[in-house]
Structure 1
Amino acid sequence: MEWFTRMKEALDLMELKMEERLDIEEIAKAAYSSPFHFQRMFHMLTGMTVAEYTRKRKLTLAAQELAMSSSKVLDIALKYGYDSPESFAKAFRKVHGISPSEARSPGVSLKAFPRISFHLSLKGDKDMDYRIVEQEAFKVVGRAFRTTCQNNDNTREIPTFWGACHQDGTIDKLVSIGEDNNLLGIVLDMQPGSEDFTYMIASQSNVDEAALAEGFTTAVVPAYTWAIFTSVGPMPGAIQDTICRIFQEWFPATGYEHSGGPEIEVYPPGDTTAEDYRCEVWVPIVKK
């Protein structure tokens, strides 16, 4: 319950600061959380990034002000953090489907994006199998692409990327050069304030010339303390559900938070469409 109270306090502060530039460190501090952990939790709980939420809220408030006042469009644009009427008009049209000046027409239809509220939901209908492990740094090799949390594009683009890597032979090559038979899905380069990140399909491997000749990229996963969760069921639904439960149920109930490092999916050999397929989610953690 305390965790949800802190998130409510952070939301209250966000509402008070809608006319200012977002200071994620200040907002996260209100939730007694690191900026990275706050943003990751917010996204997993709401389906939106903090930046996406504040954009929609600002444009809702701006639309109300346009409809109910005679303030200049430029003044309202500047008030809600836009540098020019052009950038404001582009963002406004994307949300409302009309220009800011059209928002003043009598009877015009505007989108209203309400303020979010958090409510305690006691689930606990399923056990969450996990263990805490200290792991030294290790090298990986694979293929990567950039995706975004905005509009949950990553939940569609990542399965498509896996499909393409199966079709072009990437998966078979990674299995052949890996130190074990496991495939890894790695979330890299998540930064506070950014909606974009790198997703890598990889295998654990000490890089050699043959791997580089295949056009693969390389990375080093640093040493972390990991919370490792077991996921059971067909992909990608089962692992997406497990990841959601980690953030919606496990983190609020424990004394841990996300360390800001990469997140890893570990896929052993087997039929990934089977109801009993087992894989793992590795989340880097620190004690609060």
Structure 2
Amino acid sequence: METRIVDRPAFRLVGHAARVPLIHRGVNPHIQQHVAALPAEEHLRLKALGDTEPGGLLAVCDDLDPDYDEGSELTYLHGVAVSPGTPVPGDLHVIEVPAGRWLVIRAVGPYPQTLQRTWATAAAEWFPFNPWCLRPGPEIVALPEPKDGLGTATCEVWLPVEPA
């Protein structure tokens, strides 16, 4: 697992959003259903629209309950990151993201286990020993592209942070 702190200027997250309940373990069937309902060509259209970091298709959680209570609602957006000046089609939802710092955690391994382990490691091992805390803002996962036929993927998690 690699970590880095990144300063980012303002950007926008654009895509298809839905309100879903927070589920701590396993696949969230509400998110799975939302993404599965999108036609394959829509994923390609979104990928073509993305023009800034974090790159690729993104899984975005916004408006999270500060206590992360299971069952509380959040906004889930399946989309991409774009620069402030990028024209956005009117049929897409937009989350404006102000300039700020981000903890970027990158890990390689079996998917989705590596992603779940990355969240747990950040909470239990990274934050307690580093001078940073979460700040308000969306939590972003760059959706992994499998590296091989064995389900191995690179996971990248972007968390909004500020000095503690």
Using structure 1 for the length normalisation, give the TM-score.
Answer: 0.47
- CA pair 151-264 structure 1, distance change in 2 beyond 3 A: closer
CA-to-aligned-CA distance 1:182-218 (integer Å, 9 cap, x gap): 1111111124367211011111235536x22xx2111
1:271 matched to 2:143: no
Q: Highest CA radius of gyration, 1 or 2?
A: 1
CA distance in 2, matches of 1:267, 1:148: 20
CA distance in 2, matches of 1:154, 1:197: 15
> Where does residue 155 of structure 1 map in the other structure?
28
> Where does residue 6 of structure 2 map in the other structure?
133
**Which of these residues, 40, 45, 48, is aligned with residue 173 of structure 1?**
45
> Where does residue 197 of structure 1 map in the other structure?
74
Paired amino acid for 2:87: D
Q: Give the structure with the higher percent helix.
A: 1
> Where does residue 238 of structure 1 map in the other structure?
114
Q: Is the 8 A contact 1:232 1:278 kept in 2?
A: yes
CA distance in 2, matches of 1:164, 1:139: 23
Residue 182 of structure 1: SS of its match in structure 2?
coil
Q: Is the 8 A contact 1:148 1:154 kept in 2?
A: no
- CA pair 274-141 structure 1, distance change in 2 beyond 3 A: farther
CA-to-aligned-CA distance 1:46-104 (integer Å, 9 cap, x gap): xxxxxxxxxxxxxxxxxxxxxxxxxxxxxxxxxxxxxxxxxxxxxxxxxxxxxxxxxxx
> Which runs of no fewer than 5 residues in structure 2 stay unpaired?
none
Count of aligned pairs between the two proteins? 156
CA distance in 2, matches of 1:256, 1:156: 32
Give the superposition deviation at 1:153: 8.4
**Equivalent pairs: percent with the same residue?**
28
CA-to-aligned-CA distance 1:134-178 (integer Å, 9 cap, x gap): 11110221001111226758734334433333x453211101222
Q: Give the structure with the higher percent strand.
A: 2
Give the superposition deviation at 1:221: 1.5
CA distance in 2, matches of 1:280, 1:197: 20
1:285 matched to 2:164: no
CA-to-aligned-CA distance 1:247-270 (integer Å, 9 cap, x gap): 1221122222111221111236x3
Q: Is the 8 A contact 1:147 1:154 kept in 2?
A: no
Residue 125 of structure 2: SS of its match in structure 1?
helix
CA distance in 2, matches of 1:262, 1:192: 12
Alignment of 1:93-112 (within 5 A): none
1:247 matched to 2:123: yes
**Which of these residues, 19, 24, 31, is aligned with residue 146 of structure 1?**
19
Structure with bigger RCO (C-alpha 8 Å, 6+ apart): 2
Give the alignment's Cα RMSD to 1 decimal: 2.7
Residue 126 of structure 2: SS of its match in structure 1?
helix
Residue 208 of structure 1: SS of its match in structure 2?
coil
CA distance in 1, matches of 2:50, 2:80: 5
CA distance in 2, matches of 1:149, 1:140: 20
CA distance in 2, matches of 1:226, 1:149: 22
> Which runs of no fewer than 5 residues in structure 1 stay unpaired?
1-127
> Where does residue 218 of structure 1 map in the other structure?
94
Deviates more, 1:175-184 or 1:131-140: 175-184
